[in-house]
């Protein structure tokens, strides 16, 4: 057994030197024990590194060096052995880093990501407080508790960002210091060594409370990005529980203030926009559509593509937007996705001629690449701009059920972003009345490369259409 003792937990240079000598000598991974100085080791292990064999040559792909620098910072004691095993594997197969199914590579990638997250958290949640230096000068100090050995790797970021300050970052394992001229490191500290609050914190807490938006509070999302373990070391987080508790009341107060601030009577243009929800005929809809969208410029298709089908249909389908072929033909769902849609309708026992088919956005949004026009997903602004039209169509057709094909259509019908997997195949109440159902867009099925998976998803899509047919009946 060969024993390798590294100078410190994040000693990437030491690991590389030892790993190179061991690999060149052909020492298998099972015959190497890795330790960090001061952490003990195998009393019977041989500590001298072997001499490389004659004509031995060691090469690795460049991405492996980055993997080493990241994984070395992880707290898992097996990290050195795992990296050495991957080094040996690369000598037999230089493309081993491309095998994403390899358990060894998957474990190393998980470790790399964990280190990256820890580095990000340190950059986000370190809070400097002003302290008085030994010579009476102005200094700043912060306390942080990382999960991994990232202080040495992360210190240059703080050096660049706070170059004009003299600061120290204290952690249980290692402390980093910047004096304006160079970085230095010292042994770990305890939290009692870190300063308490300073006068600036009160100003910061007042500012944080004033910008806290109660209408956008999502506790799960907030704690996912800012776990509670970091709260105790940041001044503003002491305010968070109270701000969350009062979020609903503050939101209602904001709505009431906004309502009171509105003018008593809408301006002419506003009145016209409000009246669009009361369109009473298809002729009026066509006139308003041309007025609003008939002169659009840029990469927005050559024409408006209106819905088609029975104008008193029990079943209404809403897609995303016209594609290239739909734009040229001036009809919805006539391209490859439309042909697949027709097949699925037939299998579900639905006659397309008895339905009404339209799109959430009525113009083809695209990117020009040479002679080809490549589909570009409509954004929130386009969806909102055409929502009045969808509502007008629903009001004129008055279907028993409206089916949203994909996330864009679902947002247009529900007025908010939803997750297809969570809402799929279940009857929903739509804003303004009526029932809806959400499923995937046929183009999703066309993008599945695996035939078995594509057939499975097609079967699920047909089942959703069958559910729609039964609900509409």
CA 229, distance to chain mean position in Å, is 22
Query: Which structure tokens are listed for 142?
Result: 């912060």
Burial of 144 (0-12, 13-18, 19+ CB in 10 A): buried
Query: Which structure tokens are listed for 234?
Result: 């940041």
CA-closest candidate to residue 440, choices 455, 451, 425: 425
Tell me the per-residue pLDDT of 393-402, one tens digit each, with 9 for 90 and over. Answer: 999 999 999 9
187 forms beta bridges with 174
* Segment (H or E) for 460: helix 451-472
CB 353 within 8 Å of CB 309: yes
Query: Which structure tokens are listed for 200?
Result: 């600036």
Low-confidence ranges of the chain (pLDDT < 50): 43-44, 263-277
SS3 of 85-147: HHHHHHHHCCCHHHCCCCHHHHHHHHHHHHHHHHHHHHHHHCCCEEEECCCCCEEEEEECCCC
* Segment (H or E) for 259: helix 247-261
Q: Please give the Cα distance from 44 to 42 (Å, whole number).
A: 5
- Break the chain into its structural domains and give their ranges: 2-120, 126-193, 199-259, 271-472
Residue 80's contacts (CB-CB under 8 Å, 6 or more residues apart) are 4, 6, 15, 34, 72
Q: Please give the Cα distance from 313 to 241 (Å, whole number).
A: 51
Q: Looking at the domain 271-472, which fold is it?
A: Uracil-DNA Glycosylase, subunit E (3.40.470)
In eight-state DSSP terms, residue 440 is -
CB 279 within 8 Å of CB 303: no
CB 211 within 8 Å of CB 192: no
Q: What pLDDT is stored for residue 40 in this prediction?
A: 61
Query: Which structure tokens are listed for 279?
Result: 């369109």
In eight-state DSSP terms, residue 353 is G
CB 34 within 8 Å of CB 4: yes
Q: What pLDDT is stored for residue 293 in this prediction?
A: 87
**Backbone angles phi and psi of 97, in degrees to 5:** -70, -10
- How many beta carbons lie within 10 A of that of residue 317, not counting itself? 29
Q: What pLDDT is stored for residue 432 in this prediction?
A: 81
Residue 19's contacts (CB-CB under 8 Å, 6 or more residues apart) are 83, 84, 87
CB 93 within 8 Å of CB 82: no
**Backbone angles phi and psi of 91, in degrees to 5:** -70, -30
Residue 23's contacts (CB-CB under 8 Å, 6 or more residues apart) are 58, 84, 87, 88, 91
- 3-class DSSP assignment, residue 159: helix
**Sheet harboring 167-170: ordered strands across?**
129-132, 138-143, 167-170, 174-178, 183-187
Q: Please give the Cα distance from 343 to 131 (Å, whole number).
A: 72
CA-closest candidate to residue 412, choices 440, 442, 375, 382: 382
Question: How does DSSP assign 22-41, residue by residue?
Answer: HHHTT--GGGEEEEETTS--
pTM over 0.75: no
Beta strand 32-36 with 2-6 is parallel
Q: Please give the Cα distance from 357 to 416 (Å, whole number).
A: 21
């Amino acid at each position: 057994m060969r024993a390798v003792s590294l100078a410190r937990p994040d000693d990437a240079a030491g690991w590389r030197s030892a790993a190179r000598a061991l690999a060149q000598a052909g020492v298998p991974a099972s015959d190497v024990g890795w330790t960090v100085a001061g952490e003990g080791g195998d009393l019977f292990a041989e500590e001298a590194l072997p001499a490389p064999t004659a004509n031995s040559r060691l090469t690795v792909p460049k991405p492996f060096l980055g993997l080493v620098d990241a994984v070395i910072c992880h707290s898992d004691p097996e990290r050195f052995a795992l990296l050495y095993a991957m080094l040996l594997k690369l000598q037999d197969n230089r493309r081993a880093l491309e095998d994403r199914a390899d358990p060894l590579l998957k474990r190393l990638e998980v470790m790399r990501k964990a280190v990256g997250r820890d580095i990000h958290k340190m950059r986000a949640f370190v809070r400097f407080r002003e302290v008085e230096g030994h010579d009476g000068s102005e200094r700043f100090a912060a306390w942080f508790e990382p999960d991994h050995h990232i202080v040495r790797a992360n210190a240059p970021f703080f050096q660049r960002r706070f170059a004009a300050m003299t600061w120290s970052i204290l952690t249980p394992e290692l402390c980093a210091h910047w004096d304006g001229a160079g970085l230095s490191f010292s042994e770990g500290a305890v939290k009692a060594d870190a300063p308490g609050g300073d006068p600036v914190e009160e100003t910061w807490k007042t500012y944080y409370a004033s910008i806290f938006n109660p209408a956008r509070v999502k506790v799960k999302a907030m704690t996912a990005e800012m776990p509670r373990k970091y709260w105790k070391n940041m001044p503003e987080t002491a305010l968070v529980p109270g701000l969350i508790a009062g979020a609903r009341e503050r939101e209602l107060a904001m709505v009431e203030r906004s309502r009171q601030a509105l003018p008593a009577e809408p301006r002419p243009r506003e009145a016209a926009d409000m009246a669009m929800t009361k369109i009473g005929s298809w002729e009026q809809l066509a006139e308003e559509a041309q007025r609003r969208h008939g002169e659009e410029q840029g990469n927005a298709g050559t024409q408006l593509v209106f819905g088609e089908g029975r104008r008193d249909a029990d079943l209404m389908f809403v897609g995303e937007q016209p594609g290239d072929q739909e734009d040229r033909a001036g009809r919805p769902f006539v391209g490859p996705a439309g042909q697949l849609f027709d097949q699925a309708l037939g299998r579900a026992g639905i006659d397309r001629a008895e339905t009404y088919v339209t799109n959430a956005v009525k113009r083809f949004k695209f990117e020009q690449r040479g002679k080809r026009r490549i589909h570009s997903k409509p954004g929130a602004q386009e969806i909102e701009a055409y929502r009045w039209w969808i509502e007008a169509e629903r009001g004129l057709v008055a279907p028993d059920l409206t089916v949203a094909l994909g996330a864009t259509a679902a947002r247009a019908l529900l007025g908010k972003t939803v997750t297809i997997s969570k809402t799929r195949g279940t009857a929903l109440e739509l804003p303004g009345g009526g029932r809806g159902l959400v499923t995937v867009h046929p183009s999703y099925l066309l993008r599945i490369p695996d035939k078995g998976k594509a057939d499975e998803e097609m079967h699920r899509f047909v089942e959703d259409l069958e559910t729609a047919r039964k609900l509409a009946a």
